[in-house]
A and B are shown apart, each in its own frame.
Chain A
Amino acid sequence: MFNEISRLIARQFWSSTFRSGIVYPILGLWFLMVAYAAYSGWESYTTHNHIRSHYQQETRASWENNPDKHPHRMAHYGSFAFRLKHPLSMFDFGLESFTGNAVFLEAHKQNSVNFSEASFSTGLLRFGEISLAMLLQVILPLIIFFLGFSAVAAEREQETLRMILSQGISWKEVLVGKSLGLAALALLFFLPVILVTLVLLLFSEGGVLTTTDGWLRFIGIFISYALFLVITSVVTVLISAASKSSKGALVKLLAVWLFLIVLLPRTTQALGGYVYPAPSRVEFEADTEEELIQIGDSHNPDDPHFNALRDSVLSVYQVSSVEQLPFNYSGFVMREGERISAEIYNRHIQSLHRTYQQQNRFTQLTALINPYLAIKTVSMALSGTDFTAYRDFQQQAEAYRYQLAQTMNELQMELISNRAPAPGEGPYAISRAYWSEFPDFEYEWPALRWPAPSGIATRGGSWSWIVLFIWGMTSVGMLTYTAKRVKVF
């Protein structure tokens, strides 16, 4: 479809843009913004990961340095999980600033993940964040509109369009040529960003580019954005072709930008929150606790579930009191209590996240009319900074917490006497050797799951991925369609 004439028109569009000179200050400003965004991304990634891995190591050392003690004391001493940023978060911050970073892991209790960047923010964060991805998603479309709004409309105003068409050049060749020229310009802005990202990744700790997973993510990002920029360029040319004057084209394009990028996401997200209200923390905890009391609360001394459990254990071992059991009974009770409460909590948190997904669905649906939202979702998923990635951290942390509590309960069952210590006798303790036997918390990035990366594998993610491709096809199809319909004046 790129015949010689289209290529000629593209080249002519490119050189006339450069002749007008307007592109130089924009390019200069762009490089400045890219440099700043790259610096911020790098700085934030290295600083935070340093701080967090420092504390992860420090808390591990203090865990291992605990003296001999009762295992249940260790279960309460607990541990911490600090969320490490994915190297690609240098490119796309995603939801990073709005998700918690540190969680205290202890027995009996699922603590909240605290200290999100947003909680330290003075309100500035609400104006958005500058990241390389944000520049590509928000600012570059605006630049493409600036550079391309008059692509066809100006030719029409200056009556050169009639001349071109009368020379036997087809509408399709004009539209394809102009789109090609504009997309090439967009590429000029895009390539430095990709190169800078590549350099950041190559020099960063965490070595994401030593893995296939990292390369696949990087290439995925490259292709998705290239597609997004082609779509933006084609839409610009089409709107320019459909407008009587370049002023009209510009105003339309700016309205499109404002509507799709500033207004629509906020409105649909608000709508989602309105239609699917999520519980507050108080409500969530009250519901969880209520269910716990119904099923069996080990903190209630007269809980029917635990009374029945005691009776059945006693009859199985054919003893008359728990002191005669061959294992530590309170360890056994705590193991059962932990199992029940963790199960209830997981069920409730899953249902909460389903509610969040429902809230987000409105926004994801509108990707059909808004390619910006499609690229935003795809980009976050590929950069490991979307909600799925955060969920994954939470799940790993909770799994570790559960394992920690249950290991300590089992040590108690096995090694702690059933008889209360006599007066004057110190509290029971087990050897500190058990502490270092218990493994450290090591967060693992969720890997790409082919054919779709994690995050993209969620319904919202794969949906956005598909929508982006549909947009790509449609915009190219629209070129042919418009070429048949459009009028010279």
Chain B
Amino acid sequence: MYRLLTKQVLRSRSTVIVTLFVLALGIVSVLMGEQFLNKQQRAIDEAAHYQREHIQQNAQWHADDLGLLLYYLRFTFINSFDPLTALSIGQRDVNSSIQRVTIRGLEGQKYDTDLHNPANLQVGNLDLGFVIIYLFPLLIIAFTYDLLSEEKEGGTWRLVASQASSPLLYLGYKLSVRVGLVYAVWFLLWVFALLRLPLSLNVNTLVFIGLSGLYLAFWLALCAWAVSWQRSSSFNALSLLSVWVILAVLLPASLNSLLANLYPVPEALSTMVEQRDGYHEKWDLEKETTMKSFFAEYPQYQKYPLPEANFSWLWYYAMQHMGDAESRQSSEAMREKIRQREQASRVAAWFIPPLHTQLLFNDLAQSSLDNYLSFLDETEDFHEKMRLYFYPKIFEDASVGKENWESFTPEYFAETPEVDWFLAFAPLLLLTVGLFAFAVLNARKLKALE
């Protein structure tokens, strides 16, 4: 029976075309992901190479003034990526994974964006996450919307119902053939991704795979439920596609504009302005005011006397630091706003499976907004580490030549994503089981001769 039913599915030309199409796009998406990884790696290599040259050059130009040299020197801090990023690029294309900061004020540097073609950002990436979240549901809809109605509309239903021991069982067989096909495509794509990309089969990868499988199960259950209402093919096609549009386009998009309007971020602009003013206004104030606040934060530097001259690096870097200190409040308020957005979208995502899956994919792939915020925090620590290393040397006017500049290579931040298993799987599992149960209940009322 299975062989015949499989043959029946594969005989339909459009089914085969749609399947091959999804398969082909899936393969392309993995290659796109690979290209993204390569591009990231290239940028990292360039940054490392550039840093070496840049330090060498400047150390030569400003060999007798360490304070001036460090005015120019930029140190690279990199948000390292996981190969999983290739499968869900998330926010990684918008937010830069490479920070190159001087030891001057950080707030004026850390939000600098990468160069983008906004048209690319707008249409979005073609990654495996997209294929799973958007395209697989369509494949599933195309496979199942006329599961029952094609028999009724083609006039074969009476025949089937009178011959099969149980019409419900027959539908079960038909459905399982399609389920098998969907998962076969899914399985092939994963095999390809695992072979092609440097993925390791760790917990995160397995959760990613499991989640994608469960997401497909949700759509299969949804379609089974729709079919169990025994409406016409056209009605099913229309309503299932409408559900897809609502779940995958309208709801997330409405939510996005709602959150953007509920939580505007003027703090971003005030941070920018306060940082500038916090630093620049110090030029016009008594030096003592600046030094007092600076020493309050870093008492260990009190031992350095402030030179008599108009200008000194001790005063200069203290002023620079004041820019950060005075914009800290706004900067934290901005973080708080973004965190609120993040939280609100996570709660809403429990009810919108595509959104839920997307956010979790991004978490696992270290391409979420959360990952970026942690990276910004770590950048702050990195910046402080560099400052505190160089401050005493600058204040003592140490020799440029004595420093081992070769040792300043890029440093890395690596996040270990922690996913709450229960929250990851529970919403999808609940919906899938619920819908499938309803589908079976509905279908049990199915009579052959209706």
Contact = CB atoms under 8 A, between A and B. Distances in A.
Contact of B269 (A52, A67, A363, A423): A52
Q: Determine the interface band of chain B, counting residues with CB < 8 A from chain A.
A: 35 or more
Interface string A111-139: 11111111111111111111000100011
B145 to A, nearest CB: 9
A123 B260 contact: no
Given A114-B111, A116-B94, A119-B95, A130 B117 contact: no
Interface stretch (B195-203, B354-362, B428-436, B442-450): B354-362
Given A48-B264, A73-B283, A138-B249, A247 B234 contact: yes
A427 B284 CA distance: 11
Given A121-B94, A124-B255, A127-B355, A421 B117 contact: no
B122 interface: yes
A344 interface: no
Contacts of B121: 98, 118
B227 to A, nearest CB: 15
Given A112-B112, A129-B257, A423 B309 contact: yes
A117 B265 CA distance: 9
A67 B284 CA distance: 8
Interface in A34-75: 36, 40, 43-44, 47-48, 51-52, 54-55, 58-59, 62, 66-67, 69, 73
A363 B95 CA distance: 24
Contacts of A139: 245, 250
- Identify which of B108, B122, B252, B338 gathers the most chain A CB atoms within 10 Å of its CB: B122
A393 interface: no
Contact of A421 (B112, B238, B255, B310): B310
A279 interface: yes
B354 A250 contact: no
A51 B264 contact: yes
A409 to B, nearest CB: 18
Contact of B117 (A114, A278, A299): A278
Interface string B150-170: 000100000000000000000
Chain A binding surface, main DSSP class: helix
Contacts of B117: 273, 278, 355-356, 359-360
Interface string A288-316: 01000100000111100000000000000
Contact of A283 (B46, B61, B125, B232): B46
Interface residues of A, number: 102
Contact of B252 (A51, A111, A124, A142): A124
Contact of B283 (A69, A300, A356): A69
Interface string B271-302: 01100110010011000000000000000000
Contacts of B368: 122-123
A277 interface: yes
B257 A274 contact: no
B42 A280 contact: yes
B265 A120 contact: yes
Given A273-B120, A299-B61, A76 B272 contact: no
A129 B43 contact: no
Interface stretch (A191-199, A215-223, A264-272, A441-449): A264-272
B254 interface: yes
Interface in A62-112: 62, 66-67, 69, 73, 76-78, 80, 82, 95, 97-102, 104, 111-112
Interface in B57-96: 57, 61, 72, 90-91, 94-96
A452 interface: no
B153 to A, nearest CB: 7
B343 to A, nearest CB: 9
A122 B341 contact: yes
Interface in A128-177: 128-130, 134, 138-139, 142, 146, 149-150
Nearest to B346: A122
Contacts of B35: 274
Contact of A129 (B61, B256, B309): B256
A469 interface: no
Interface of A: 33, 36, 40, 43-44, 47-48, 51-52, 54-55, 58-59, 62, 66-67, 69, 73, 76-78, 80, 82, 95, 97-102, 104, 111-130, 134, 138-139, 142, 146, 149-150, 246-247, 250-251, 254, 258, 262-263, 265-267, 269-270, 272-274, 277-286, 289, 293, 299-302, 352, 355-356, 359-360, 363, 387, 390, 421, 423, 426-427
5 contacts: A127-B248, A246-B234, A266-B125, A285-B50, A363-B119
| A-B residue pairs, 4 tightest by C-beta | A127-B252, A124-B256, A40-B257, A98-B118
Given A77-B276, A146-B238, 8 more contacts: A40-B258, A102-B268, A104-B108, A104-B276, A124-B345, A269-B120, A274-B35, A282-B43
